[in-house]
Amino acid sequence: MLTEIRIAGFGGQGVILSAHILGRATAIEQGGYATMTQNYGPEARGGAASAALVVSDEPIMYPYLTEPDILVVMSQEAYTRFTPELKEGGALLVEQDLVRMDSKALGRRVYSIPATRIAEELGKKMVLNVVMVGFLVAITEAVGREACRAAVADSVPARFRELNLNAFDKGYEYGKELLKQNPEPTREGNVSHVELESANW
């Protein structure tokens, strides 16, 4: 099955690494196929950044997104710019503290996570992207959990490996807890989320 994914935010959030991890998990760890394209704003840090990923268990004939199935947004600008391209009924994953919802979310399945807060509790704000990767895997199952953990381990410096694996696990656990509490979110722009306190961090 072919799945189109866009991850977007601003420079410094690890947007490109997030897509790289998912692509590596698909192509190397699972023996599937993946293509990735990326785009930066004029500033390396703080400007807009996005990555487009196509993953499939069959060869990919067209490497670019046509209508994403999954959209991950980690900034308000990313939400405003990319949500209209997400397919009807697609999964919209948002950084809870950085994105405010409006009518653009209508018709999508919306899931929210305070990824930055979780990363800060782990001691490094920089791993919020890996928290989001774990969350995506839990919510969408677009990539296998163990394949993605292996890709995380192989994609970060050895000294940060344990931290990033913990970040992945926290995002994954948060996503599974969210699905347990609300397995079928509405498509009226309401956001599904759980409170940090209830997730036993």
In a domain, 154, yes or no: yes
pLDDT single digits (tens) 60-116: 999 899 999 999 999 999 999 999 999 999 999 999 999 998 888 888 999 999 999
Per-residue tokens: 10: 């601003």
Cβ neighbors of 27 (< 8 A, separation 6 or more) are 33, 34
- Mode of pairing for the β-strands spanning 48-56 and 91-95: unpaired
In a domain, 142, yes or no: yes
Percent of the chain with pLDDT over 70: 87
Total H helices, total E strands in the chain: 6, 6
In a domain, 134, yes or no: yes
What pLDDT is stored for residue 12 in this prediction? Answer: 85
Going by C-alpha positions, the residue among 199, 196, 126, 137 that lies closest to residue 164 is 126
**Max Cα–Cα distance, the chain, nearest Å:** 45
In a domain, 193, yes or no: no
Per-residue tokens: 159: 């000294």
SS3 184: coil
Structural domain containing residue 91: 3-185
pLDDT single digits (tens) 33-51: 999 998 765 444 556 789 9
- Number of domains within the chain: 1
Q: Return the CATH number at 37.
A: 3.40.920.10
Give the residue with greater pLDDT, 44 vs 19. Answer: 19
Angle between helices 115-122 and 161-181 (to 10 degrees): 140
In a domain, 125, yes or no: yes
pLDDT single digits (tens) 117-135: 999 999 999 999 999 999 9
In a domain, 198, yes or no: no
Single-letter residue type at 178: L
In a domain, 91, yes or no: yes
What pLDDT is stored for residue 47 in this prediction? Answer: 67
At 185, the pLDDT band (50, 70, 90 cuts) reads low
In a domain, 27, yes or no: yes
- DSSP run (H or E) holding 179: helix 161-181
